[in-house]
Amino acid sequence: MITGAGVSAESGIPTFRGKDGYWRNLDPAKLATPEAFARDPQLVWDWYNERRQRIRKAQPNAAHEAIARLAQHADEFLLVTQNVDDLHARAGLPKEKSVQIHGDIFVTRCSHCDFSEKGRGGSPEPPMRGRLRSIAPTSAKEVSIPRCPQCAELMRPGVVWFGEQLPWHELQRVDNFLDGGGCDVVIVAGTTATFGYIIDWALRPSRDGGELIEINPEETPLSRFATRLVREPAAIALPRIVDELTNRGAL
Ligand code: NAD
Ligand code: ZN
């Protein structure tokens, strides 16, 4: 199973490309880059702090819940999500059955060394204004950006930005799962599938004759490979499809 921002859209979390995608008139595809952070780390942190707040207030929707149910029923299951929110986990999907291939918005990590921290209880606080100021007072602009307790460099959100490498450990988990054999069914929901690796992961298991179900109101590069196209919002389509699959008993 592969998901993208569209699955969280009905929980009120904007996709990057949708109509509510822009923030302060800025294009998220340009904010979610190492270049934007180097140019204006405060602006990028402001954007991530607002997104963290919005995600904390959001609730999982019927699509997240259906996916958690599917994971429970299937003999073997892995969700690869491009989402950095925690709604799959909050719907009850166990951590060992999901890979957040683009990172976790609630992780804060050093932009220089390997230090990272995740807040408490799954609902961490954003970096505090003025934190560690005494260690590294650089400019007035930077005092509200957290600094690394190990090396004093700027801390950044623990997500994968455009142009960055995917996390090695998470990549291994996807490869190990796919190397373990073909999948009877691959479901791809709420993603534009613009990244080559997403297309590869969607197509690799279904080459052995499995089904490829795409759930997306819009056409994507994967649509022409799908054995079934569902042009509906994920929160409507997924509960029904999961019912069908679990009733069929062939999982
Ligand atoms: P994306 O490329 O995954 O695009 C969203 C897709 O969802 C589009 O194809 C759209 O047609 C589809 N969609 C919209 N509403 C839907 C619905 N109700 N049901 C099913 N499909 C629906 O994502 P993006 O917004 O272009 O973002 C690019 C990157 O940023 C990805 O890594 C993405 O996951 C990440 N991102 C994550 C979140 C999050 O964690 N919730 C939010 C925004 C962006
Ligand atoms: Zn550091």
Task: Looking at the CA of 52, name the nearest ligand.
Answer: 1
Encoded tokens for 200: 């590869």
Question: In whole angstroms, what is the distance from residue 143 CA to residue 139 CA?
Answer: 7
In angstroms, the Cα distances linking 98 to 35, 42, 89, 207, 238 are: 29, 31, 9, 22, 17
The pLDDT score that the predictor gives to residue 119 is 63
Residue 43 host element (H or E) = helix 41-57
Task: Looking at the CA of 146, name the nearest ligand.
Answer: 2
Amino acid at 199: I
Which of 3, 7, 15 most suits a substitution to test ligand 1, by most atoms within 8 Å of the C-beta?
15
Q: Does the C-beta of 192 come closer than 6 Å to ligand 1?
A: yes
Task: Looking at the CA of 221, name the nearest ligand.
Answer: 1
Closest CA to 190 of 46, 29, 17: 17
Question: In whole angstroms, what is the distance from residue 54 CA to residue 48 CA?
Answer: 10
- How many CA atoms are closer than 13 Å to the CA of 109, on its beta-carbon side? 13
The pLDDT score that the predictor gives to residue 142 is 42
Q: Does the C-beta of 13 come closer than 6 Å to ligand 1?
A: yes
> What does the DSSP 8-state code read for residue 134?
T
Walk along the chain (251 residues) in steps of 10 and give the mean pLDDT of each run: 98 90 90 96 95 96 98 96 98 98 96 85 44 42 75 96 97 95 92 95 83 97 97 98 88 69
| Distance in Å, CA 174 to ligand 2 centroid | 28
| Distance in Å, CA 131 to ligand 2 centroid | 15
Strand pairing of 155-159 and 103-110? antiparallel
| Distance in Å, CA 94 to ligand 2 centroid | 30
* DSSP result, 75-105: SS--EEE---SSHHHHTT--GGGEEETTEEE
The pLDDT score that the predictor gives to residue 178 is 93
Q: Does the C-beta of 230 come closer than 6 Å to ligand 1?
A: no
Single pTM value for the model: 0.91
The pLDDT score that the predictor gives to residue 127 is 47
* Phi/psi at 146 (5° precision): -65, 150
Residues with Cβ within 8 Å of 108's Cβ and at least 6 positions away in sequence, in order, are: 116, 117, 118, 119, 127, 146, 155, 156, 157, 158
Residue 117 host element (H or E) = strand 116-118
The pLDDT score that the predictor gives to residue 169 is 97
What is residue 147's three-state secondary structure?
strand
In the block, tokens 């880059």 appear at: 33
Strand pairing of 116-118 and 103-110? antiparallel
Q: Does the C-beta of 103 come closer than 6 Å to ligand 1?
A: no
Q: Does the C-beta of 86 come closer than 6 Å to ligand 1?
A: no
**CB count, 10 Å around CB of 11?**
21
Q: Does 102 participate in catalysis according to the annotation? A: yes
Encoded tokens for 9: 């859209």
Encoded tokens for 56: 């904390």
| Distance in Å, CA 195 to ligand 1 centroid | 12
The pLDDT score that the predictor gives to residue 181 is 82
